[in-house]
Structure 1
Amino acid sequence: FFGVIFFLIKFFLIRKDLQPQKTDNLITNLTGRFAINIVDDLVIIHHQTTKTSMIFDINLSAEEIVDNVKFHLPIISKCSIKPYKINNVIEYDLYSPNWVIFQPNIIIDAKYGCLWFLELNLEFIERMIKNVPILIDFLLLRRNSKSNILKVCRNIVRISKKYGQNPIGNLSLVFNKLNLTYKESLMKRKNGGNTPMVESFDYVRQKTTTTIDQKDILSNFFEYFTEDRIDNHLGIAIVFEYVYSLSSHDIQIDFLIYEFLINYLIKSGNYYQMHQFLQYHVFTDSTHLACLLLSLNKKYPYGYQLGLDMLKRLNKTDDEIIEVLLSQNQIIRALRYLEKHGDIYSVSARKFLETAFATKDIKIFHQVYKFFQLRNLKLRNSLEFVKGKTKKKIY
């Protein structure tokens, strides 16, 4: 241990050819010998007398600011290093006077010939920080904290359910914090990841933010709704709160989020609600979403017309709409659409027959075959296909 602490630890910014500038004060309210490590952009103060450590994050909001100097209280005021046994036998005396500290996270005991690298236990810190918004701010500034953040989201719902509370308020705050950093990462990627040059390196203030994107939320939060036994109405409200947060940060909503929500609405039997969302354009129009609606024909008959309407709003041509229907194996519907909107006399029969043949459904193939035979009869007064227009393997 190399210093004596008197209530405050002061941080100065030192630049070449400039006078040192005081930037931060860490309020410890302790006296005695101490040592400092920097771990994952956190200031860890080890206090020998009490054999405890305090954790400060000077990148979080300060308790107060006086003359441009920030005053910080510890984010964790009393914790300790995990007990250690030498050779798994001898209990080691932590916070020893023999310790020599090297930055950023090295502890050496010359007497025993031991060297350690200090690491964080984020699971422990999760339990210690009770304020959810502060916990999320803290975790976003940590490396490898993605799983911890997503676990916090799930825990918000579990705890609210246990105490009969509505989790939407807390989740709204969390989603906005996550999407703010998500938006920043998207903008940084768009700009080629360029960052401004700095005059000096300050490894306490080098913010390394964790980004939680839409796929993370979907696969590690939303898809656990069934396992966590979340009420259907609450699940829908949570997803919509997330979608609203994405929209408010001008983030394009991934089709996978819409797909999950629509399937969730159907699974829970909320057809009327889904119809309203689609009718009033709550969902952003896209070809992917239109295809999803077309594929829901058996579960949700109105989906076909809603899907077609969406394709038309996207200014898809009749030929493109027919191609979309064929790609969804909606062959009979494609024929009906062709009759109503297309030119049945110029269209190639091959792609319809090949798609019908690929379904291995004899009835569908027969319907398509008969349709084009009648087309041929009207066009050429013959049921026969023009040689070379079809493939031998079909016939």
Structure 2
Amino acid sequence: MDKPVDFQHYYLELSPEPVRFDAVSQLTNVFFDDAKQQVFAVRSGGATGIVVKSAKDAQNLSFCMEDRGTIRSIKFSVDNQVLAIQRNETSVEFIPFNANHQPNVQEMLIHQGKNVIYGFVWVQERQVALISNAGVEIFQPNFEKRVLKSIKSLNITVNWFSFCPTSNFALLSSNMGTILTPLILKPSTITKLPRLELGTGQGCSGRDVTLAQLYGTNAILILKQKQNRQFEIIIYLLNGPGLAPKKSHILRLGQNGRFAMNIVDDVVVVHHQATSTSMLFDIAVGGAEVEPGSGAAIHQPIIPAKTIKPFALEVPSISLDGKTINCDLYSQHWVLFQPNIVIDAKLGCMWYVLLKLNSLCTLITDRLRLVEFLLQRTDGKSVLLDVLKDMTSTSYSGTMLPIIDSVFNKLNALYKSVLDNELQSQMALISLSSKAQSNKASVIPRVVIDQSDMYTGVFAIITDSEQLGKILLLYLHSLVRHGISPNHELSKQIIIDLVKNKQIDTLQQLLKYAVLNESKPLACFLLSLSNSDPSISQMALDMLSRLNASEIILEVLLEKGQVIEALRIAKQLPGADSLPARKYLEAASKTKDPLVFHSVYNFFQAKNVRLRGSPDFLKHEQCTEYVQHYQLLIGNECL
């Protein structure tokens, strides 16, 4: 009996709902347009039947045309209104479609040239770039005038080309693959960039080159065999206009054989057919060696190679028995397209390759490296918060504290950079002199973990952790180290933990050196905890004093029965002559201390004499009951 498969040990999987199409056969050919991610199943016979299935917009098309010969390449325009078909080396047909998505073959336009056409790419709804052995030319079909208008051209010797639809980035090969010329193809525009010269004997073929975007930068990835017969991938980045492609990264594969690449969420996935495994490389994760001379970073796989998670495909059946077959992974029939597409033409399936981030969390044991990796993933935030929660929970050992401290510093360094960029952007909007600063592009991190995330996603959940206090203080010190003020919720949680564990001295030190973000609400929260320790009340009053919150201080003193102290402070404030007598007399009577009441009463009588020449209170001051109380006290003293 077979053992159950543990899917937690796979960090790659195929999308659960593949695009299904008619498989390759003697009568059916399959083509794929990676720009629109459309699969064309072309069935030949008396007439050519074509079924188009799209992974992007789920818009499927079906039509028939007269069989005019073998098709080499077929692609729709951006809006699916014009179909381009190449049948031989020197010509391309352009067929308009009507409102019912059917071809108007009688209105077809044909480009017939003398040069060998290697392929074509659409750059606009009505503009297509043809790449031949003589260069690149952009045409615009005009069906009303029955002409193909040449818009732009570039003459250059070409022996093969590659294209990245993500950024309309093309690469032309000359001189047997030793000279590679990057181009940006846009409507009516061909931008030639500085070429990459590989040197004599260092040429490459088109099958060894992959074009992609890595972290927003166009990249040329070249598979190369080393002297020891093992392979590596050289990554050249195009860092800006006018700059030649720079050798920036080297991915060490450590094996030989057949390789193919995908880019999954900026992770370079290298598939090895002989071992049926895949390797992951992330050029953004630090710690790489540097190649002498070039300065290129040398990367090893971030985790040992593993196979893709097995995939069971449902087999169509007239019965409802739910039969499935296990797909042959890393099949010789697999063809890979960028960024993360796998097509098995014999099986009739198209998948996306996906990262299983939760599985990676269990497989990457280096927590700091794992955090670096998750910070760069599009969907990494929730997974990263789970990792942080696990690291700081009751299950961790105290030896993890230095690692947790390093993780906090990495999170807060990124957090601080985002805060600084936001501040610079605000200043640039206010000040015209900051125009140069505002024109500077800043890379926005994929994942930012701020204080609110840490509070709601980690600290508020691990309140039972024995090490919570140490972890909170580690995080607080990391914030301070990076010049970030702790917010109210975090400050409250730190205070709660310190008071709960009777670490009043530590709390006093944090307040003394203004480590916590002082505010009136925080001071009032401190006051609410004053029953735990008498000194907490004074800490709160000191904070209010630093915040010049005199009114709150007076209210607190009156509530605590310290009426004389409240009067002492009130006399020094603006508007001392308009103090509400009733409020202070009421607080004094509640103390049950005749001496305190005498002092307060005499203070207001003296104020009345000074302001009005009479000790009597005015009617609207509503002090009659306290005048009677005073007279009763005097009478008792006389007795």
TM-score (norm 1): 0.77
Segments of structure 2 that go 5 or more residues without pairing to the other structure are 1-206, 209-222, 226-230, 315-321, 427-437, 592-596, 609-613, 624-639
Q: Call closer, same or farther: CA 1:181–1:347 in 2, change over 3 Å.
A: same
CA distance, structure 2, for counterparts of residue 295 and residue 324 of structure 1: 14
8 Å CA contact 1:5–1:33 kept in 2: the answer is no
Amino acid across the alignment from 1:308: L
Instruction: Identify which of 538, 551, 556 aligns with 1:322.
Output: 551
Which structure ranks higher in relative contact order (CA pairs < 8 Å, sequence separation ≥ 6)? 1
CA distance, structure 1, for counterparts of residue 523 and residue 441 of structure 2: 46
Residue in structure 2 matched with residue 102 of structure 1 by the alignment: 337
SS at match of 2:402: helix
Are 2:273 and 1:53 equivalent residues in the alignment? no
Q: How does 1:273-352 map to 2 (within 5 A)?
A: 273-279=506-512, 281-314=514-547, 316=548, 320-323=549-552, 326=555, 331=559, 337-343=565-571, 346-348=578-580
Residue in structure 2 matched with residue 386 of structure 1 by the alignment: 620
SS at match of 2:486: coil
Q: Call closer, same or farther: CA 1:219–1:20 in 2, change over 3 Å.
A: closer
Q: How does 1:154-303 map to 2 (within 5 A)?
A: 154-158=389-393, 161=396, 165-192=398-425, 196=440, 208-227=445-464, 230-231=465-466, 234-279=467-512, 281-303=514-536
CA distance, structure 2, for counterparts of residue 325 and residue 169 of structure 1: 45
Give 1:94 shift. Answer: 1.5
Decide which structure has greater helix share.
1
8 Å CA contact 2:271–2:277 kept in 1: the answer is yes
Residue in structure 2 matched with residue 145 of structure 1 by the alignment: 380
Give 1:280 shift. Answer: 5.6
Residue in structure 2 matched with residue 202 of structure 1 by the alignment: none
Residue in structure 2 matched with residue 126 of structure 1 by the alignment: 361
Give 1:338 shift. Answer: 3.5
Q: Provide Cα deviations, 1:206-225, integer angstroms capped at 9, x if missing partner.
A: 77431111111122222233
CA distance, structure 1, for counterparts of residue 560 and residue 247 of structure 2: 76
TM-score (norm 2): 0.50
CA distance, structure 2, for counterparts of residue 123 and residue 242 of structure 1: 25
Q: Percent identity?
A: 33
CA distance, structure 2, for counterparts of residue 338 and residue 385 of structure 1: 24
Give 1:324 shift. Answer: 5.8
Instruction: Identify which of 6, 9, 13 aligns with 2:237.
Output: 13
Give 1:153 shift. Answer: 2.6
Residue in structure 2 matched with residue 72 of structure 1 by the alignment: 299
CA distance, structure 2, for counterparts of residue 152 and residue 40 of structure 1: 20
Residue in structure 2 matched with residue 356 of structure 1 by the alignment: none
Q: Provide Cα deviations, 1:153-195, integer angstroms capped at 9, x if missing partner.
A: 333345874xx54322111111111111111111111122857
Give 1:386 shift. Answer: 0.9
Residue in structure 2 matched with residue 392 of structure 1 by the alignment: none
8 Å CA contact 1:65–1:71 kept in 2: the answer is yes
Residue in structure 2 matched with residue 81 of structure 1 by the alignment: 308
8 Å CA contact 1:246–1:253 kept in 2: the answer is yes
Q: How does 1:358-373 map to 2 (within 5 A)?
A: 367=590
Amino acid across the alignment from 2:568: K
Residue in structure 1 matched with residue 250 of structure 2 by the alignment: 25
Amino acid across the alignment from 1:129: I
Give 1:242 shift. Answer: 1.2
Q: Call closer, same or farther: CA 1:364–1:377 in 2, change over 3 Å.
A: closer
Decide which structure has greater strand share.
2
8 Å CA contact 1:143–1:208 kept in 2: the answer is no
Give 1:78 shift. Answer: 1.0
Residue in structure 2 matched with residue 35 of structure 1 by the alignment: 260
SS at match of 1:77: coil
Amino acid across the alignment from 1:296: L
8 Å CA contact 1:142–1:208 kept in 2: the answer is no
Amino acid across the alignment from 1:42: V
Q: Call closer, same or farther: CA 1:207–1:188 in 2, change over 3 Å.
A: closer
Segments of structure 1 that go 5 or more residues without pairing to the other structure are 199-205, 354-362, 390-395
Q: Call closer, same or farther: CA 1:225–1:195 in 2, change over 3 Å.
A: farther
Root-mean-square deviation over aligned CA pairs:
3.6
Q: Call closer, same or farther: CA 1:20–1:250 in 2, change over 3 Å.
A: closer
CA distance, structure 2, for counterparts of residue 16 and residue 250 of structure 1: 36
Q: Call closer, same or farther: CA 1:321–1:127 in 2, change over 3 Å.
A: same
SS at match of 2:448: coil
